[in-house]
Structure 1
Amino acid sequence: MKKKRTFPWQHPKPPFEDPKAQELIERIFQSPSYKLAIEDEEFLLSDQTRGVRLQLDYLKPELIMQKYGIKRTIVVFGSARIKEPASAMKELEKIKNLLKKKPDSKTLLRELRTAEKMVEKSIYYEEARKFGQLVGKAGKGPKDNTLTLMTGGGPGIMEAANRGAYDVGAKSIGLNIQLPHEQFPNPYIDPELCFQFHYFAIRKLHFLHRAIALVVFPGGFGTLDELFETLTLIQTGKNKPIPVVLVGKEYWQRLINFKFLVEEGTIDAEDLHIFTFKENAKEAWEYILHWYAKAGIDIFNHNKKD
């Protein structure tokens, strides 16, 4: 335990002849201005020190990932609301039972439709888990951190992907974000690689800093935000081209009419080649491997300089 610092004026016998001196020195000692900067929370949380906080938000995860030899990541995005099949079915049965007591409840009928959709989408939980297993077993095996799975660290699709890596004994990364409501990391992230960010911008930086591929399962606003930011960075040349895989073609084509953007002239036809659609974990993984093989890049080469 760190020893607490003591000062001459904290000793039982005041070292001053002036009877007021002890009181005056105590006032100095209690003043915020006298605190070490690192111990002054009000100072550290001020507007003027935001730049320092941004740097620290970036630096801590960066140094830890360097320590554990994380060189390349495959990032998985997707809804935090998608449950594994058993949980989705349990929720559906719960709502059905409630409807038996209140068959005319509009609220329960809406919840029933949502629950039915969640049962349908629970297949993506299983596919994300399978994808995590494929990444975890890649390279020289589960103990090799050169290529590591990364997620947003939360439940749903993120949990499934981290869980897949955990299934095969591989480390995986979770980038959690501090939110106004409670947010907990899923239990399958490697403890040494589970991070929490204050700034979305720094979290997003780390998502793409080592990313060699992005795999996106069905999701909502957060998933779309992360997807479109990546597409924009690749489109504008701010990020090197990487494979971007959208899993579940029907979902994505119903959600976004990409061809409409081409027809309206707001994107170029070649922009549609930044990403591709696949239906399951196996297809997504094979596409990533083929993409790099075609480019002549060995993503498992430990000696390659990034």
Structure 2
Amino acid sequence: MSRLEPDSARHALRPAREDARRSQRVLATPQTEHPAYRLAFQDLDFLLREDLRPVRLQLELLKPELLLAEAGIASTLVFYGSARIPAPEAAEAFRAAAAGTPQASVAERLAEKSRFYAEARKLAFLASSQPCRADGTRDFVVCSGGGPSIMEAANRGAADAGAPSIGLNVVLPHEQKPNDYVTPSLSFQFHYFAIRKMHFLMRARAVAVFPGGFGTLDELFELLTLVQTGKMQPIPILLFGEAYWRRIIDFGALAAEGVIDPADLNLFHYVETAEDGWRLLCGGP
């Protein structure tokens, strides 16, 4: 390489990492001990100021984007769903723990939904079993919220296939951690729900939505709105459990009232099994 040719791995300026190390070795004086002297990017108090919010938003968008690109993630299969549905192997114990309490009927309904945990796991396995592209990048990489229940099932299915998977955790008031099946190098934590939602969809090739509550509905309706308004290219949106979805949302009534177009009812598909969902994603009937 000519000395005049650009080299993306080298820069004329000294690397920030080197100056960060040097800054820790300065002599202690009243000036160097004062917070004002800290390098801006090492000053946590400065970075957490209210007026630095735009910078924090940018960093939270940029960090996962760079790491996902470096990991060769070409596209994702996103899983939305409840954090409360038990795994099939835990369903009986879940029922027993609530027996005789006012919550017994609710526990029974949640336990019945354990089949969706199994379907999410199977769908994730099918997607994760696909070969890499010729350049080594991956499609249909499983991406979940990184938590328990349906999210765990998705990451677990990818682990069953020996494939990497993504977990997008968000800081919540109660203590939480990523589920054990998320690939550590693809496990991210967010402060801003909005930036987390962007990362769910920036690489999404399809979205599988399982029964869930406020969070799931929030994510589903934002996705539908983005596609409906043309802000996002149409992608397959699979709603698992037709009976559940028809019970909690009357999409037909929205069309009948004129607040959505009848054609908007074609933005999503009801499915019951992982096999049916995967067939749709592969272009089948």
TM-score, normalised relative to structure 1: 0.82
Q: CA deviation at 1:118?
A: 1.3
Q: Give yes or no for the alignment of 1:261 onto 2:254.
A: yes
For 1:122 and 1:223, the matched residues in 2 are separated by 17
1:135 corresponds in structure 2 to: 127
For 2:132 and 2:23, the matched residues in 1 are separated by 48
1:190-205 to 2 correspondences below 5 Å: 190-205=183-198
Choose from 51, 56, 59 the match for 2:54: 51
1:79-94 to 2 correspondences below 5 Å: 79-94=82-97
Identity %: 49
For 1:147 and 1:285, the matched residues in 2 are separated by 11
Letter in 2 for 1:203: R
How many residues are aligned here?
Answer: 264
Letter in 1 for 2:126: L
For 1:50 and 1:88, the matched residues in 2 are separated by 43
1:78 corresponds in structure 2 to: 81
For 1:5 and 1:127, the matched residues in 2 are separated by 52
2:147 corresponds in structure 1 to: 154
For 1:258 and 1:62, the matched residues in 2 are separated by 34
Q: CA deviation at 1:140?
A: 4.2
1:175-200 residue CA offsets vs partner (Å, 9 max, x unmatched): 11111211210100111111111111
Matched position secondary structure for 1:290: coil
Matched position secondary structure for 1:146: coil
Q: Give yes or no for the alignment of 1:114 onto 2:106.
A: yes
Choose from 66, 71, 75 the match for 1:68: 71
**Pair member with larger Rg:** 1
Letter in 2 for 1:222: G
Matched position secondary structure for 2:64: helix
Q: CA deviation at 1:28?
A: 2.3
For 2:137 and 2:69, the matched residues in 1 are separated by 14
RMSD: 1.9
- For residues 7 and 126 of structure 1, do their structure 2 counterparts lie closer, same or farther at Cα, with a shift above 3 Å needed? closer
1:127-157 residue CA offsets vs partner (Å, 9 max, x unmatched): 111011101112349x862331111111000
Q: CA deviation at 1:174?
A: 0.7
Q: Give yes or no for the alignment of 1:277 onto 2:261.
A: no
Choose from 224, 228, 232 the match for 2:221: 228
1:244-268 residue CA offsets vs partner (Å, 9 max, x unmatched): 0100000000000001101111000
For 1:63 and 1:211, the matched residues in 2 are separated by 16
Matched position secondary structure for 2:169: strand
Q: CA deviation at 1:278?
A: 0.5
TM-score, normalised relative to structure 2: 0.88
For 2:37 and 2:234, the matched residues in 1 are separated by 51
For 2:250 and 2:128, the matched residues in 1 are separated by 34
1:300 corresponds in structure 2 to: none
2:202 corresponds in structure 1 to: 209
Letter in 1 for 2:279: E
Matched position secondary structure for 1:61: helix
For 1:124 and 1:151, the matched residues in 2 are separated by 15
Matched position secondary structure for 1:176: strand
1:153-172 to 2 correspondences below 5 Å: 153-172=146-165
Q: CA deviation at 1:288?
A: 1.1
- For residues 134 and 7 of structure 1, do their structure 2 counterparts lie closer, same or farther at Cα, with a shift above 3 Å needed? closer
Cα pair 1:163 1:188 within 8 Å, conserved = yes
Cα pair 1:150 1:175 within 8 Å, conserved = yes
For 1:83 and 1:3, the matched residues in 2 are separated by 51
Stretch of structure 1 that moved more, 218-227 or 31-40: 31-40
Letter in 2 for 1:251: Y
